[in-house]
Amino acid sequence: GNSVTQMEGPVTLSEEAFLTINCTYTATGYPSLFWYVQYPGEGLQLLLKATKADDKGSNKGFEATYRKETTSFHLEKGSVQVSDSAVYFCALSGSARQLTFGSGTQLTVLP
């Protein structure tokens, strides 16, 4: 079946540091890949997505590239802010369209 493995947290960075959160997946066929973010006290929000190999999703300074050869979709941001502190979830959507999520990575950015 489908599965998503995320880099374990928590991750603590200083403001303006570079962020990478690793995500790899196992799936049959050609899934779509997503990053969702959950800010404290709020619901899950779509951050970015990619639907085919070599696509790059981007939003709010975050980027992730769909790498089929390495089955990865790592999240990156060049300069994090305190407001980026949240839990980040990598997810895939297979042929049946329901999402399979990773376990989440807690990010804390210190001023």
Partner 1 sequence: DTGVSQDPRHKITKRGQNVTFRCDPISEHNRLYWYRQTLGQGPEFLTYFQNEAQLEKSRLLSDRFSAERPKGSFSTLEIQRTEQGDSAMYLCASSLGDREGQPQHFGDGTRLSIL
Catalog residues that contact partner 1 under the rule CB under 8 A: 4, 32, 34, 36, 42-46, 49-51, 89, 91, 93, 96-104
Query: Of the two residues 3 and 81, which places its CB atom closer to partner 1 in the complex?
Result: 3
* Nearest distance from C-beta of residue 102 to partner 1, angstroms: 5
Query: Of the two residues 18 and 39, which places its CB atom closer to partner 1 in the complex?
Result: 39
* Nearest distance from C-beta of residue 46 to partner 1, angstroms: 5
Cβ neighbors of 22 (< 8 A, separation 6 or more) are 6, 7, 72, 74
* Nearest distance from C-beta of residue 76 to partner 1, angstroms: 20
Cβ neighbors of 38 (< 8 A, separation 6 or more) are 44, 45, 86, 87, 88, 89, 104
Distances 61 to 2, 3, 55, 96 between C-alpha atoms, Å: 28, 27, 16, 30
Query: Of the two residues 6 and 109, which places its CB atom closer to partner 1 in the complex?
Result: 6
